[in-house]
Structure 1
C-alpha cells in the first residue's frame, strides 16, 4: 500500500527530513505591511521574511491557513492518484482552524475519490486519516517523526493511527519567547487573553521570561527565568533530563525563529546534544515557520518531545 503524509506549514521540522520522507506541506498565506509570504517551509521564503526584518511589527499580520476547498482540491487533484492512504497531521485544533478545515475536506475527498481513481485506471480504495497532534510548532514533530517511521516500516494504517494518537497525547511542546510585548500584541490581535499587559510590563521591566508549554492542546506558563539565556538553559537542561529518563519517541526537535547557528551558542544546548548522542536520540534542528514567528516573535525557541506524563520542574 502506498502511504503518504501531509502537515501544515506551522509544524516545525527540518527541510531535509521533509524531503527524505516526501512529506507534503499545506501552506499558510501571510500578509504583513503590504507584502505576502507563502509559508510552506521553503528555506528561501523563511529567509526572505527574516531579511525583510518584519519580526518587530508582524504581530499585525493576517494569516490564512489552507481552506477546506484547497485541501479537497489538493487531494482529489493529486494525492488520491499518488497514494492509497494519506495521514494528514495538523497543529492543535485549539489554536488553529486547519484541523477542522482538513476534516471537512476529508468528507468530500472520501465521497468523490473513486471516480477520480477509476478515470486514471487506479484500482482499490483510498483512505485519508486526519490526526490532531494536539501541539504547536516543534511540539508537533514527534508525531510526524513517528508517522514517517511507521510508514517506512509498512505498518497497517489502523496500527499507525492508534500509535499516532498515543504519541499525540504524550507530546510536550515548549516555547521561550524573547519579547513579551510582541507576544501580547499578537495575542490581542487574535483576541487571545493568555498574555496580559501587566505580565508583559513586568517581564520587560525585570527581564523575566516565561517558559510556555502546550500539552494535549492546552497552553500556559510552566516556569520563568531571569533573562532569555537562563530560560533557554533551563529548557535544554530539562530536555536533557527527559532524554536520559526515556522518551516515547527517540527524538527531540528544536526550532528557532532566526539563524539556526544561534542554537549552539545558547547555554545548555551542548548538554542537550550530548544527552541525545549518549542515548541514541535524534536531535532535529529546524527554522521556526513564518507562521510561528508571526505568532510568537522572532528569536523564540521551541522544543518538542514525547514522554510519559510528568510534571515539569523549572
Structure 2
C-alpha cells in the first residue's frame, strides 16, 4: 500500500523535513489589514508581528474543503492508495472539518485525525506517521503511529499578553486570567484541544524559567527519549537561549529545534511568544536511538 500523510501549516514542520518524509502541508490563510495571504507565501511572521504591534487588524481563516480535495486528488494521481490527514485542534479551527468534508469526495480512502494540539506537538506525530508509511505500514498502523506520538505530547507556552488570544476568540479557559492580565505573565497549554492556563507568574523571565522546569519534569517522569521544538514569534534570541538550556538539562532529547511560529498562530498569540513542544518517542529506552533527522537536528532547520 502507498499511504500518504497530509497535515496543515500550523504544524510548523521545517520544509526540509516535510520534503524528506513526503508529508504534504496544506496552508492556512492570514488576513492583515484586509489583505489575505497564504501562510508562508507573501507574508512573514515578522510582518505579522509588526502589524500586531501597530494594532493592525489580523485575522485567520481555514483552507476551503476544495483545497483539501484538490490535494487528495493529486496524491491519488501520484499513486497514493490511502491518505491519513492530521490537523490542528478542531476546538481552535475549522480546518479539520474542511478536511473531513473533502475526504467524503476523495478518490481514495482518507482518514482525518484531529490532533487536539498545534505546532510540532502535531508535526512530530505527522512525521511518525510518514516514517511508518515509508516502512510499509497500512493506514491503520499509520494512524496508530500518529496517535502514539500525540498521546503523551504536550505544548507549553508563554504569551506576553492575553489580548491577542482574546481578540481571536481562542482564549478558552485562560479567560479566567484576563482580570489580572496586566499583573501576570501566564503559562498556558493545550488540553483536550483547548487553551488552558497552567500557572501564572509575575515576570517574563520567571515564566520562561518555569516552562523550562516543567519540560524537564515531564521528560524525567516519562523516562523515554523525546524530541523538543522551541517555537517563538519575533523572539529568536530568547528561543535560542532556551534551546541551549534544554540541550544541557534534557539528555533524553534526541533533537532540539528552534522554529519560528508562522503567521497564523502568531496572529493569535502575539509577538514575544515562546512555546516548547514536547514529543516523547514511544517504547524507546533512553540512550538506545540515534537522531532521526540527520546532522541538522540540533539547530535551525
- State TM-score, norm by structure 2: 0.82
1:244 to 197, 220, 229: 220
8 Å CA contact 1:244, 1:275 repeated in 2? no
Q: SS at the partner of 1:274? A: helix
Q: Distance in 1 between matches of 2:56 and 2:208?
A: 23
Structure-2 change in CA distance of 1:147 and 1:59 (3 Å): farther
Gaps of 5+ in 2: 282-301
Is the 2:9–2:39 contact (alpha carbons within 8 Å) kept by the matching residues of 1? yes
Mapped to 1, the partners of 2:117 and 2:253 lie a distance apart of 24
Change over 3 Å in CA distance of 1:153–1:215 after alignment to 2: farther
CA contact (8 A) 1:177 1:297 kept: yes
Give the aligned partner of residue 118 of structure 2.
Answer: 136
Counterpart of 2:297 in structure 1 is: none
2:194 corresponds to 1:203: no
Q: CA deviation at 1:166?
A: 3.8
1:245 deviates by: 3.3
CA RMSD of aligned residues (A): 2.7
- The answer to whether 1:20 aligns with 2:25 is no
For residues 147 and 58 of structure 1, the distance between their equivalents in structure 2, rounded to whole angstroms, comes to 40
* Matched-pair contact (CA < 8 Å) for 1:14–1:285: no
Q: Tell me the TM-score normalised to structure 1 length.
A: 0.79
Counterpart in 2 of 1:108? 105
Q: Which residue is equivalent to 2:95?
A: 98
Q: Map residues 177-216 of structure 1 onto 2, 5 A cutoff.
A: 177-187=159-169, 194-196=173-175, 199-200=177-178, 202-204=180-182, 206=183, 208-216=184-192
Is structure 2 residue 271 aligned with structure 1 residue 271?
A: no
Distance in 2 (CA, whole Å) between partners of 1:214 and 1:247 is 22
Aligned length, in residue pairs: 280
Q: Distance in 2 between matches of 1:58 and 1:91?
A: 26
